[in-house]
Structures are given as C-alpha cells and as structure tokens.
Structure 1
Amino acid sequence: MNFESGFTGDGLTADRPRLRWSRRRIALIGAGLLLLVAAIAYWKSGSGSPAPVDPDMMVPRVTVIVPGASDVATVVNAVGTIAARREMPVGVVGEGGEVSAVLVEAGDWVTAGQVLARVERSVQVEQRASLAASVRVAEADARLAQNELDRAQALVSRGFISKATLDQKTAARDAAVARVNVARAQLGEQQARIGRLDIRAPAAGLVLTRAVEKGQVVTPGSGVLFRMAQGGEMELLARVGEADLARLSVGIPATVTPVGGNRSYEGHVWQIASVVDPQSRQGDARILLSYHKDLRPGGFASARIVSGAGQAPLLPESAIQNDGKGSYVYIVNGNNVVERRDVRVGQVSAAGVPVTEGLTGREKVVILAGGFLNPGQKVQPELQKAADAAGTATPGGPRG
C-alpha cells in the first residue's frame, strides 16, 4: 500500500475546487464594494465632477479699525536726582567757641531767625557788663558837664565869668556827650558779638542735615553745621536729551515718581538748562515740587513731563509691529489687499499708542492677526469701532 500517494490524491486534490471558489467570491464582493463607493460619490457630486471649493473659505479674516485723530499729549520721560530747590548752608558767623546747646534736629521746620544752636558766651557776657558800666560812667560825666555849662551861662550875663570860660564849659560838655556815644557804641558792638554766637536760620524752611553736637568747639572755619531747604521746596534735576530739551518750556506740568515708591507728585518745570553736556548730549530740566516727607534730597526719581498736545491716530498696541527697519502697521486698501506702512509712534499709555508719523487716521489698520499676514495678501476685513479697539492689547490669529 502506498500511503504517500493515497494522502495526496484523496486530501489536497479534493480541496482545490473549494479553495478556488472562495477566492472568486472574495474578489466579487470587493468589486461590488468598489462599485458601490463609486456610485455614492457620483450621486453626491451630481455630475461626477469634484465638489467646488468656496474661495472665501481660503481668505483669512482680519480685524481692522479706522482710528481717526485723537487728542494726544506729547510726553518727555526723564530721570534725575531730588534736591532742595534753594539749599541754605548754615555755619558759624561769629568768633565761635564751645557749643552749649543744639536746639533742632534734621527734619524740623524752623522760622526765619530761629536759634539752631548756641555757643558758650560767659566771657562775652562779662565784657558786656563792663561796657555797660562804662556807658553809665560816661553818662554821669556828661550830666555833670551839662550842669556846669548851665551855671556858667547864668553867670556870664552878670559878668562873673568870661566868654572864654563859657566856651571851655561848652567844649567839656560836648566831649562828655561824645564819650557817652563811644561807650554806647562799644556796648552795642559787644551785644552784636554775643548775638552772633547764636547760630540762626537765615530763612524759614526745613532742616535737612545737622553736623554739630553739644560740647563741640566750632570756629568760622568749621564748615557747614546745618543744611536747610528754603521753604521746604524740593526739585528734581531731570536729565533730558538734547532733542527733548528743545520741546520743553518753563511752567509745563510734570509728574515725579521716586524710586521704590508707589505714589507720584505733581510739579512743574521752573528752569531749563542753558547748556548741554557735550559728552552725554543731555541737559537739566529743574522740576519744582512742594514738600513731602517721601521726597528726600539725594534720592533718585523718574519724571513724566507733558510738553504739549496735538492730534494723532491712536492705536492699540496689538496693531504695532516691529522689525529691523522700525515700527510699522498693516493697512487694508480698497481692494482688500494688505499693505505695509512704516510709522513713528509716541509714548505708550493706557489709552493706546499714538502714531506721530505715517498715518492720517483714515486708513483701515489691522489690529488683530497682523503677525500672520504678508504684504500683498488678500484678506476679509472686519471693521471694529475705535472705542472697542482701545482695550485690545495683544495680537490675535486669523479669525474664521
């Protein structure tokens, strides 16, 4: 018996017609499915051609505004140092000596002529007493000489004394009166010397610094003992660029903010430098400020000076683009095509960014999606009111 030939003939050979039928059935089913898909596509298209694409779906939408012209303040920003507007150094004006008392502290308000410190004066007081006594002696001599002259005048009419004697009495009286005047002048001088031992405020104001203590020996060469701000007035010595300096004038308002503070103080420019530093190309604009405890001389502060006002288009920050050439915006022309427009902008504020050059205010300016556009690109502009655009701060993407 041949087992190998018997297996081959009865098993594999018998299954071949069945395998061919299975393959043919799968092929027929696949062809039917393909025909069904093609029929559905043909039915949807209506004619067998591809469905048309709406061209507007391919054009991006952008938000634009027509900004018009708004009242815009011209602002100059500067930084500088706070100082007393009129600083008054106070020192020894007399002969000096040992300080017996210091009567004020830094930060005190004083009046004109108020005593700030006293110098020991015991010797000078005794000298004044001696001179006062000399005045009394001279006055007594003058009274005696006057009495003698009066008696001589009564006797000369009776012939008891000569005219020459009367002239001597008159001269003696005049000399006695002169000695009284000399003694009084010497006493007044001594009183003035004692008065100069009081270190006094030359004017009303604020004591800024104190550099003297009780027991200290001071002389006219001791330097400044007190520094005062006349009237307590302060100023900011603001460093301003040469171009900005030309736009400033005396009397224009300014706002000063000390470094580290969260409060600003109002003032005005009271003096503008007549020269410009040839190295830094800057000059000083002196801003007058009323006294406040937070305005400390020597402190650093920033200033915002309003140098004028005018009309300019006002845009949100999202509309302004920047590159190596400078600032620019995108505008949409009458054919809804994007154009680049180079501009010059002013000081950024909460209201927006003023455009000082490059726009008239009648253009359609892209305020959203500008970062995704290119010049010459076709767009669909959506007009937004300027009042609504004021709050736009950041650029957005294309809107569909």
Structure 2
Amino acid sequence: MRLIGAFCLALAATSAGAETFEVLPTEIVEWKSVYGEVATRDLVPARARLGGTVAELDVSEGQRVTAGEQIALVEDDKLQFRLSALDARREALSAQLETAQSELERGQTLFDRGVITTQRLDELRTAVDVIEGELRSLDSERLIIEQQVDEGGVLAPEAGVVLSVPVSRGSVVTPGETIAVIGGGGVYLRLSVPERHAQDLAEGDEIRLGAGPDGREAARTGTLVKLYPQIEGGRVQADVEVEGLDGRFVGRRLPVRLPVGEREALLVPQAALHQVGGLDYVWTEPENADRLRRTVVPGREVSIDGEPWREILSGLTTGDRVVLGDE
C-alpha cells in the first residue's frame, strides 16, 4: 500500500505496560478493480504480395517466427506461362540475330569491294541493333516476371508469435490479402479503463495483480508503461509491463487493481480490534480517565509494511488514544 503524506503514530507506555497510539488521519490509495488482457504490443498481418494459389503454408497458430522468415508461398501459373513465352521469343530473336549478323558481315565484305552502298550497309547494321534491343527488352521483362515469382514468398514482417492463419493450403488469394496475423513487440497486460479514471493514471504507476482488497494477496506487480491517447467507447487503453508474464495464451484475462484516487481514513492495527457477541470494539485511554471500551465499525483491511491494519468507519475520532493488545 502506497501512502501519501506522513502517517504518524504516537506510541507511549501505559501504567499496565501496554502500548497506546494516537489515531490520526492517513491518506490511503483508492483502488479500482478491472480486468487486464494479455496482449502483444504489435499486431501485424503478413500479407500476400502476389495473387494466386497458396502452394505452401509453413506456419500454424502458436508458432514463433523471426522477422523475414518465409511462412507461405503463393504461386501464379500464368507467370510460368509468360516466362515460357518469353523464352520462346528469345530463341526466335536469337536466330534472327545470327542471320542479321551474318548478313552484316557479308554486307561489309561487299561494301569493301564497292558492290553495295553505304546506305545498304547502314540498314544491315540497324537490323542487328534492333534485334539486340529487342533481346535486351525481353531480358528486362523476364527479370520483372522473375521478381513477381519471388514475391510469391510471404515473409513475416517481424518476430513474434502467429496468432491466426485465416487461409489454408490451396486457397486462392489476392494481392494484399492476410495470410497470417503475427503478434510481436513483447507481451503486455492491456487494460481498458473507464475514461473518468484516465486523469488519475500516469506512465510509471505501479499496478497490482489480484482481485482482493488493495490487491494485498497478490504479490505480483506491474508498471504502467503506455497510456494510449485515444478514447474509444468511453474507455482508455493502457499497457502494463509485468515481469515474467505468461504469453502462451494471448487474450487471457487477469484481475488487476489500479490506483485511481486518494482519501483520508482512520486506521488501527488489526491487533487492536476485539470482538464480543458479534460486535467489534477497541480499548481507548482518555486523558485523566480510566480506559473505555468503544464499539467501532471496521472497514476494509489495509496492508502497511506487510502488517494488517483496519479502517475504522465509525466509533473513533481524530486524536483518540487506542490501547494495543489489551483485552
């Protein structure tokens, strides 16, 4: 329990040897019970860059992947047909190039003998250049198609765990369609807090896991590391980092208690309370008077330095001196 301000206890020795203390107002933290959901910081889809049929699917839900790892392969048979057509055209152009080069060599011989004109020789050279240009164009077109074939491999955008795989092997997909959803960026406890408590939260606050009073029985704590600025449906999203948080089941709900306010309360040690006939009472020691047994209405239990204390709703006032451990 985090205390705001100084909590003062005035201890003194009584004639009987018992300890007394003065009850003073103490600022205590108000806790709000909510549920947190185990989630990953990032939720990134691995998308197909090529339309076609899923020929290979190498991942399933729960599997861990690394950034850049191929998780599926999409094939488009039309690309292979286009590659075959380009190969056939290249073979034909290669044959035409050989013929054109032979004619150019003969034309050069005839030109040297003065049989043909310069214009004719230039036409033969141009024919060779045109065919060579067409061959270079086919090679570039082939590189483009080969790159498209390579883009059939679906890569993991980042390291993480595969949360869902909405397709199966043999499915027909379009460019941009999701093949798998990957959760990365670490595992956090994501909270959805009512907006009226948003102003009471700040990054760095300690968050307690547990559903009991003050989260006392829950030894685990976390740190509020991110408070999202957008409010949706009257709720604010927040990420809590918990050391050793089990990330095997994303979406698992855990009880959480948030510090959302402070108020003053009168506290007494649990040992100062006694019960008779279903009523709770404490012994007080007024000044210049005998001890009195006063009936009180206790509230919730509060932990201070690991010791149990009880809030007193009525029966005591500020300045009362309560005897500790006297029956």
Q: TM-score, normalised by structure 1?
A: 0.52
Higher Cα radius of gyration: 1
CA shift digits 1:112-145 (9 cap, x unpaired): 3322233455564354244245446556766876
Tell me, yes or no, if structure 1 residue 200 matches structure 2 residue 155. Answer: yes
2:180 to 218, 226, 241: 226
User: Normalising to structure 2: TM-score of the pair?
Assistant: 0.61
Paired residues of 1:112 and 1:203 also in contact (CA < 8 A)? yes
Tell me the equivalent position of 1:65. 21
CA shift at 1:301, angstroms? 1.8
More helix by share: 1
User: Which letter does structure 1 place at the counterpart of 2:67?
Assistant: A
Partner residue, 1:271 = 227
Is there any run of 5+ residues in structure 2 with no aligned partner, and where? Answer: 1-15, 212-217, 274-281
1:88 aligns with 2:44: yes
5+ residue gaps, structure 1, are 1-59, 321-328, 356-366, 385-395
**Number of residue pairs matched?**
292
> Do 2:284 and 2:321's aligned partners in 1 also have CA atoms closer than 8 Å?
no
Residues 177-192 of structure 1: matches in 2 within 5 Å? 177-192=132-147
AA aligned to 1:198 is G
| Identity rate, percent | 20
**Structure 2 vs 1, CA of residues 227 and 257 (structure 1 numbering), >3 Å: closer, same or farther?**
farther
**What CA deviation, in whole Å up to 9, does each residue of 1:1-31 have, x standing for no partner?**
xxxxxxxxxxxxxxxxxxxxxxxxxxxxxxx
Which residue of structure 1 aligns with residue 200 of structure 2? 247
Pairing 1:1-400 to 2, within 5 Å after superposition = 64-66=20-22, 78-97=34-53, 99-119=54-74, 124-135=79-90, 138=93, 164-165=119-120, 167-169=122-124, 171-214=126-169, 216-220=170-174, 224-231=178-185, 233-252=186-205, 254=207, 264=220, 266=222, 268-275=224-231, 277-278=233-234, 282-288=235-241, 293-304=246-257, 316=269, 348=303, 350-352=306-308, 381-382=322-323, 399=327
Q: Deviations over 1:267-292 (max 9, x none)?
A: 542233333644xxx42223356896
Cα distance in 2, alignment partners of residues 306 and 134 from structure 1: 74
Q: Give the residue type in structure 2 aligned to 1:269.
A: V
Please say if residues 239 and 283 of structure 1, whose CA atoms lie closer than 8 Å, have aligned partners that are also in contact. Answer: yes
Judged with a 3 Å threshold, the aligned counterparts in structure 2 of structure 1 residues 222 and 158 are, in CA distance, closer, same or farther, namely closer
Q: Please tell me the root mean square deviation across aligned C-alpha atoms, in Å.
A: 5.5
Correspondence for 2:10: none
1:318–1:265 CA distance, 2 compared to 1 (3 A): closer
Per-residue deviation, 1:241: 3.6
User: How far apart, CA to CA, are the structure 2 residues paired with 1:147 and 1:91?
Assistant: 52
Q: Distance in 1 between matches of 2:42 and 2:111?
A: 69
